[in-house]
Structure 1
Amino acid sequence: MHKKILLIITFLSALFISGNLYAQTAPPAAPYTATPDSFVPDISYPFLQKLIDTAKKYYPEVRLRQKQVNIANTSYHQAQLSWFDIITPSYLYNPSQSTNLITPIAANSYQLAVTVNLGSLISKPFIIHNAKQAVDVALYQQQEYMLTLEATVKKLYFTYLGLQADLRLRSKAEQDAGVNVNLMKYKFTKGEAILKDYNDAMMIQYTQVSYRIQGELAVFNAKVNLEEIVGKKLEDIK
């Protein structure tokens, strides 16, 4: 029994040591290298930052979040000033025939009386605390939305560039299909190709034209989506 346990421990130790040795000797991952058809070289991080700053300035939801913060601040200040609401002043009239055996009061005079609402006095600190918490909540929601907005702008920008790269590939495929059609037409007139080969080349060209149009539509839609959240046309952002 002890021999079996010893063998198991030895086997697990060997696996652990071999794993560490592999981790130490394994070559580091090769850095990403953009291919000629990649959209990565098109990325401009300064321009992307301008897009983010513009979105934070012009997108209506940003102004809405700021309004919510302002309203919460106003409510908090109102709650702080509402301490005076718990005090109710009143005046007591003392006619000449009335007498006060405890505290003499001048005849035909008025006396100021102050009434304090005990329930409001106890609840007022909690009301102010909740108003301050509402300010914090509005600020946290504003910060969360700013992070979400920034991530959304980045995603839409990268999507826009990716679709532009895809459109370039589709346009290149369309050009190649056009060259092939001209070649097959030349061969067909020379009797070096049959009609079917010529028709197949034309169908491929038609398909590539359709793909290119779909790519253009995707690029324009991506541009509209990006401009919608930025709040301005891309051409107007310098």
Structure 2
Amino acid sequence: MKKLLNIILVSLMFLSADVLAQESIIPEINYSDLEKYISLAKQNYPRRKMFEERAIGAKTQIPIAQLSYLDVFNGSYFYRPKDRTVIDPLNPYNVNGFQFGINVNLGNFLQKPFTVKKAKADYKIARLEQEEYDTQLEMEVKRRYYDYIQQLSQLKIYTQSAQDNKGVSDGLKNRFERGEITLDAYNQSRVAQSGSSIAKIQSEVTFLKAKDLLEEIIGKKISDVK
């Protein structure tokens, strides 16, 4: 009789958990919410913003490199009033009035196409790095979301188990007070109730950690996501 009662107590302690644990968490996944979380992470996560700004900075270097072609040209002018005597009348290029000149740095000129090409390549690399990080960020959001759903489901299981065990313990308490069961049987029910309560508390902590990690990456409280 005593062994049979022990078996009943243990069975009741895990009955709710076993039944619920056999259910799939896949129906709990809301893909619409998941897409919102991914979009929010791309908008708010600081490291993603860093890659975005790096790509923008690399893009601005392209027109700067193209305009730098003007750097190879140096213009100059010389002005001598017409009422003054020419310094060297034998030099036909030394005249009164304005004289203009343009100097070209050939070495710099030949370097410019490569400078522009490098600027375009740097921008392309920055864009590829951003796309690569976007893929990694998307996978990380999914991982944290799945962990969140998993911990939420487990919390429901442990909560239900704790409630069931409390019901069993309360029932056995009444039976013990009526002298229908032994003190040992009643104590075992209390131990089972304590174990399920501890498991529920641990599950709550794990759930809160998973929730915090998800909210960290999306930059917003889950309750605020519409």
State the TM bucket, normalised to the shorter chain.
0.7 to 0.9
The letter of the residue matching 1:109 is: G
CA contact under 8 A between 2:87 and 2:94: conserved in structure 1? no
What residue in structure 2 maps to residue 197 of structure 1?
185
Q: 1:230 aligns with which of 213, 218, 222?
A: 218
The letter of the residue matching 2:224 is: D
User: Greater CA deviation, 62-71 or 79-88?
Assistant: 62-71
Which blocks of at least 5 consecutive residues in structure 1 are unaligned? Answer: 1-33
Deviations 1:22-43 (A, max 9, x none): xxxxxxxxxxxx9763221111
- Distance apart, 1:204 and its partner CA: 1.6
Q: Does 1:86 align with 2:63?
A: no
Q: 1:117 aligns with which of 100, 105, 108?
A: 105
CA contact under 8 A between 1:56 and 1:62: conserved in structure 2? yes
What residue in structure 2 maps to residue 137 of structure 1?
125
| Structure with more relative contact order (C-alpha pairs < 8 Å, separation 6 or more) | 2
Instruction: Give the secondary structure class of the aligned counterpart of 1:90.
Output: strand
Q: Does 1:61 align with 2:47?
A: yes
Q: 1:38 aligns with which of 15, 19, 24?
A: 24
- Distance apart, 1:106 and its partner CA: 5.8
Instruction: Give the secondary structure class of the aligned counterpart of 1:193.
Output: coil
CA contact under 8 A between 2:21 and 2:157: conserved in structure 1? no
What residue in structure 2 maps to residue 70 of structure 1?
56
What residue in structure 1 maps to residue 9 of structure 2?
none
Deviations 1:97-126 (A, max 9, x none): 31455xx23633342222221221222111
Distance 1:226 1:126 in 2: 45
Which blocks of at least 5 consecutive residues in structure 2 are unaligned? Answer: 1-19
User: Greater CA deviation, 179-188 or 224-233?
Assistant: 179-188
Alignment of 1:99-110 (within 5 A): 99-100=89-90, 104-105=92-93, 107-110=95-98
Q: Percent identity?
A: 33
